[in-house]
């Protein structure tokens, strides 16, 4: 049965080795697929999203093997194939939007399928962007499946980055392998840290680009990945954010496997817990988070919207009203996270107001769950992990339904959480 029961924890203590970043991993898998040299990707988490990315490059002709946590690629995708191309992206939003840009590498029709919540999310930015290049795109009312056909005849385009930066990531990864140089103008770009991650990996793979204030990107065509890439995926700050909050509200934790100097936008969780009053320090490469008095926070999560679920739990444990900005970024996630958080937190007496782009969380100082509660993840991995944190300080067990949504990014979450 797809549910997990969590016993109450008076406090948390111990250490956790964080999984690797699925955002970096999917980008690395995509670039590996475009390589005509041997590539090794180390410390690769076997999450649903990463499996989807691996399946896609295999569908496009790449050959690789998995050895433990490593992926060893010995043949890249075939850009000269004449066969009809069709890829399946599972429920991965990043893979869907990123790999849609791969259609620019082919003349023949290129079909993109998905499943679950991704089939309900708009692909408008993808459709408009590919049309800018000259492609014809058929869709299901701007949703999957997409059938992309025709030649690319435009190499200077303007795209909208207000809803998601994921399609831009795809364009930046594909552009070095197009026959012409590509100029990409971007309007209203959100989530700049994610584009910084993409540019980081392009440089690591030996590919050239120039960037003017994240508004204009120039990428040379006909490039090749440098020989014999060996890349280790760094720890995932998105996954770490839940343990950072766990330590801040319930004890003391040592988090291992994280990069202190990182491009990942979700490292901003440290700013939030410090503002709230928790203690953090680095010790021999490990992050230590310890509870102290918690105060309400004011935090802008526009550039890091995945932090909303752990931030809400943090705010719930502070006495008073916290304000979190960036709500408009939540509508196109696995669930409408603003409404989902509002509904689920109400089950433990936490009132959340949504005012245009702001969320106001009325914290109680101490959230004591004293009656059995069943949280629904709404099939959203970050909601499942966030609601699990309410077992800290609870007096009775709590239940998470659709709990295995965590497989999307962090299959071992409950195993690790239960060791604390």
Active site residues: 306
351, containing H or E segment = strand 351-355
Residue 66, C-beta contacts closer than 8 angstroms, at least 6 positions apart: 44, 54, 72
Distance between CA 5 and CA 400 in Å, rounded?
Answer: 6
In the sheet that holds 39-42, the strands lie side by side as 63-67, 70-75, 39-42, 229-232
Residue 23, C-beta contacts closer than 8 angstroms, at least 6 positions apart: 94, 194, 197, 236, 238, 264
In whole angstroms, how far apart are CA 19 and each of 90, 120, 179, 236, 410? 21, 28, 37, 6, 7
3-state secondary structure of 246: helix
DSSP output for 87-134? EE-TT-HHHHHHHHGGGGG-SS-EEEE--GGGGGS--HHHHHHHHHHT
Distance between CA 310 and CA 316 in Å, rounded?
Answer: 10
Distance between CA 373 and CA 344 in Å, rounded?
Answer: 10
115's tokens: 């499943």
3-state secondary structure of 274: helix
Is the Cβ–Cβ distance between 361 and 315 less than 8 Å? Answer: yes
DSSP state of 346: G
Sequence-ordered strand ranges (E) for 165-297 = 182-187, 210-212, 216-219, 229-232, 251-256, 279-283, 286-290
Exposed e or buried b per residue across 393-412, where buried means at least 16 C-beta atoms within 10 angstroms of its C-beta: bbeeebbbbbbbbbbbbbbb
Q: Which of 128, 47, 61 is nearest to 94 (CA)?
A: 47
135's tokens: 């492609």
DSSP state of 164: -
408's tokens: 């999307």
């Amino acid at each position: 049965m797809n549910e997990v029961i969590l016993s109450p924890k008076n406090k948390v203590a111990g250490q956790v080795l964080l999984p690797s970043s699925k955002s970096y991993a999917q980008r690395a898998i995509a670039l590996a697929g475009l390589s005509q040299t041997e590539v090794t990707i180390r410390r690769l988490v076997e999450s649903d999203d990463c499996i989807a990315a691996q399946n896609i490059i295999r569908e496009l002709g790449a050959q690789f093997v998995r050895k433990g946590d490593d992926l060893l690629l010995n043949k890249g995708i075939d850009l000269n194939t004449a066969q009809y191309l069709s890829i399946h992206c599972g429920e991965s939003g990043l893979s869907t939007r990123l790999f849609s840009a791969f259609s620019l590498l082919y003349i023949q029709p290129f079909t993109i399928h998905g499943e679950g919540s991704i089939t309900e999310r708009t692909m408008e930015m993808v459709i408009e962007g590919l049309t800018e290049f000259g492609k014809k795109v058929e869709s299901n009312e701007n949703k999957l499946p997409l059938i992309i056909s025709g030649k690319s005849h435009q190499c200077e385009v303007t795209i909208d980055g207000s809803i998601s930066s994921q399609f831009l990531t795809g364009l930046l990864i594909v552009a070095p392998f197009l026959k012409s140089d590509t100029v990409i103008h971007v309007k209203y770009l959100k989530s700049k840290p994610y584009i910084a991650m993409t540019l980081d990996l392009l440089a690591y793979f030996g590919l050239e680009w120039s960037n003017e204030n994240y508004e204009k990107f120039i990428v040379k065509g006909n490039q090749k990945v440098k020989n014999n890439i060996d890349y280790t995926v760094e720890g995932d700050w998105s996954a770490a954010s839940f343990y950072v909050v766990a330590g801040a509200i319930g004890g003391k934790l040592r988090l291992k496997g994280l990069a202190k100097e990182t491009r990942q936008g979700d490292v901003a969780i440290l700013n939030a817990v410090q503002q709230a009053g928790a203690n953090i320090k680095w010790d021999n490469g490990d992050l230590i988070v310890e509870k102290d008095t918690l105060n309400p926070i004011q935090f802008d999560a526009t550039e890091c919207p995945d932090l909303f679920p752990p931030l809400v739990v943090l705010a719930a444990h502070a006495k008073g009203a916290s304000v979190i900005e960036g709500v408009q970024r939540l509508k196109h996630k696995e669930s409408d996270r603003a409404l989902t958080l509002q509904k689920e937190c109400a089950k433990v007496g936490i009132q959340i107001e949504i005012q245009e782009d702001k969320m106001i969380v009325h914290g109680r100082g101490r959230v004591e769950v004293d009656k059995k509660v069943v949280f629904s993840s709404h099939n959203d991995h970050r909601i499942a992990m966030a609601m699990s944190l309410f077992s800290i300080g609870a007096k009775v067990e709590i239940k998470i339904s659709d709990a295995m949504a965590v497989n999307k990014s962090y299959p071992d979450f409950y195993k690790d959480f239960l060791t604390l």
